[in-house]
Structure 1
Amino acid sequence: MLDEIRDLLVLQDRDKRLQTIQKDLDKLPQEETRAKTKLSGDQAAVDKATEALRACELEVKKVELDAETRRTTIKRLKLQQFETRKNDEYQALGHEVIRYEKDLDGLETRELELMEETDGLRTALAEANAALAKTRGLVDADLASIAERKANLLAARDEVKAERDRLAAAGPANVMPLYERLLKTKGGVAIAPMHEGRCGGCHMKLIAGTVIKVQAAKEIAQCEDCGRILYAD
C-alpha cells in the first residue's frame, strides 16, 4: 500500500469520527425538545385543575354573597313585621320571609355542595402538581444527561479536530486537494477498497487497467465511475 494511501486512510478515519460526533450533536436539540415535551401533558393537567378550582371558588363566593343578601332581606322583613300594625301587611311580610328563607336554605345547601366540590378540586390540583413535579425531576435528569453528553461530544470533537488538522497538514500535498474534494462530494468517503475488481465506494466493476494499477500500488488510482481513490482490499 502506498504511504500516501495509508496516511489518507488514517485521516479519513478521523473525518468519519468527526462526522459521527457531529451527527450525535445534531440530534441533541431534538432530544431536548422531546424531553421538555414530556412536561406539556402534566402542565396542561395542572392548568386545567387550577382553572376548575378557581371557577368553583368564584361560584362559592357568588353563592355566599347571594345568601348574605337573603339573610339581610329576611332581617329587614322581620323588622317590618315587628313594626307593622296591619294584619294583612303582617301576613304578606310573613309570606315574603318564608320565600326568602326557602331561597336561603337552597343557597346554603348549594354552598355546602360547592365547598365539598372545592375540596375535591384542591385534592386533584395537589395530585396534578405532584405528577408535574415528578415529571419535571425526570426531565431535569434527562436534560442534565443531554448537557453532559454534549460537553463530552464537544470535547471529543475538539480533540479529533486538532488531530485531523495535524494529519491534514502533514498529508501528501499532491493528493490532499483531491482527497478534500472527494470527502465533500462522496458522502465522507474519499478512499475506498477494491474488492473482487469492484470499487468499495460505488460498487461498480472496474476496468482491467484500473485493477492492475491498484494492485501494483505504485501510484494513486481512482475509480473511473465515482472518482474515489482506491486501494487493494
Structure 2
Amino acid sequence: MALDQKTQFPSDLLRRLHSLHSQVADLEGQLERAPRQIRAGENLVAEATAALQKARDDVKSATVACDEKQLQLKSREDRIEDLKAKLNTAASNKEYNLLKEQIAADQQANSVQSDEILEALERIDELNATVKQAEATLKQKTEEHQKRVKEIENRTEVVRGDLEYIHAELEKAEKEIPATARSEYRRLYESRGDEFLAPVEEGSCGGCNQTLTTQMLDRLRLQFLVECPACAAWLYVK
C-alpha cells in the first residue's frame, strides 16, 4: 500500500514507537529464552545423573567379575587340597606324578588369578573414586540448576512487569499515529516487526544503508512520512 504523500508523522513519535517496539522485542525474546535456559540446565543435570549411573554400573560389573574370580580361586584351592589328599592313596607312580602335575598346574593358575584379583580390587577402588566424583558433580550441577531456575523465575517476573509497562506505553503512543497511517502501520508491524522502522544515519537509511535523496531528507525535516525506496522502512530523524 503506497503512503499518502501528504501524511505528516513527527519523527519524535516514530523514534518513540521504534524504541518501544525494540524494547518489546527484547523483552519477549528474554521470555522465550527462559524455558530454553531451564532445559539446558536440566540437560546438564541429566548428563551428570547418567554419568553417575554409569560409574555405579561399572563398579557393580567389576565387583561381580572380581567375585567370580575369587570363587574360581577358592574352588581351585579346594581342588588342590583334594588332590594333595589323593597323593597318599595313589596306586602307582604314574598316578602320583599325574596328581603332582595337576596340583602344580592349579597352583600356577591360582598364582596368576591372585594377581588378577589384586588388579581387579585396585580397579574397583578407582571406580569407587569415580563414583564419588560423579556424585559430587551431580550435586554441584543440581545446585547450580536450582539456583539458575530461581534466578530465571525472578527475572521472568520482572520482565513480565516491564513488558506490561512497555505495552501500555506503546498503546498510548499508537493513539498519536495519524489516522491515515494507522492501518498500514499495523500491517507493517505484524509482517515485519520493528524492522519496518529505521532512523536516518548520515543521509542513509539506518536499516539497509540506502542513500536518501535531498528531497526525501527535506520531507523528513518537514515531518512528512517517508518510506525508504529500498527496504520500505518508515524513516525518522534521530
Answer whether TM exceeds 0.5 for this pair. yes
Report deviation, 1:134.
Answer: 2.4
- Aligned-partner Cα distance in 2 for 1:90–1:229: 108
Q: 2:152 aligns with which of 146, 153, 156?
A: 146
How many residue pairs were aligned?
Answer: 228
- Aligned-partner Cα distance in 2 for 1:85–1:195: 110
Say if 2:103 is the partner of 1:97.
yes
Q: Is the 8 A contact 1:14 1:160 kept in 2?
A: yes
Q: CA RMSD for the aligned pairs? A: 3.8
Say if 2:204 is the partner of 1:204.
no
What are the within-5 Å matches in structure 2 for residues 92-131 of structure 1?
92-131=98-137
Report deviation, 1:67.
Answer: 0.9
- Aligned-partner Cα distance in 2 for 1:191–1:120: 63
Please give the secondary structure, in 2, of the residue aligned with 1:188: helix
- Aligned-partner Cα distance in 1 for 2:84–2:59: 37
Q: Which residue of 1 aligns with 2:227?
A: 223
Q: Which residue of 2 aligns with 1:22?
A: 28
What are the within-5 Å matches in structure 2 for residues 36-47 of structure 1?
46=52
Say if 2:86 is the partner of 1:86.
no
Report deviation, 1:126.
Answer: 1.3
Report deviation, 1:96.
Answer: 2.8
Q: Is the 8 A contact 1:11 1:167 kept in 2?
A: yes
In 2 relative to 1, CA 131–86 (structure 1 residues): closer, same or farther, beyond 3 Å? same
In 2 relative to 1, CA 133–192 (structure 1 residues): closer, same or farther, beyond 3 Å? closer
Normalized against structure 1, the TM-score is what? 0.71
Please give the secondary structure, in 2, of the residue aligned with 1:174: helix
Q: Is the 8 A contact 1:77 1:93 kept in 2?
A: yes
What are the within-5 Å matches in structure 2 for residues 155-174 of structure 1?
155-168=161-174, 171-174=177-180
Q: Is the 8 A contact 2:198 2:205 kept in 1?
A: yes
In 2 relative to 1, CA 59–85 (structure 1 residues): closer, same or farther, beyond 3 Å? closer
Greater Cα shift, 65-74 or 155-164: 155-164
- Aligned-partner Cα distance in 2 for 1:180–1:28: 28
In 2 relative to 1, CA 69–24 (structure 1 residues): closer, same or farther, beyond 3 Å? same
Q: With CA pairs under 8 Å and 6+ residues apart, which has the higher RCO, 1 or 2? A: 2
In structure 1, give the amino acid aligned to 2:119.
Answer: E
Say if 2:73 is the partner of 1:67.
yes
In 2 relative to 1, CA 131–215 (structure 1 residues): closer, same or farther, beyond 3 Å? closer
Q: Is the 8 A contact 2:15 2:236 kept in 1?
A: no
Unaligned ranges ≥5, structure 2 = 1-7
Unaligned ranges ≥5, structure 1 = none
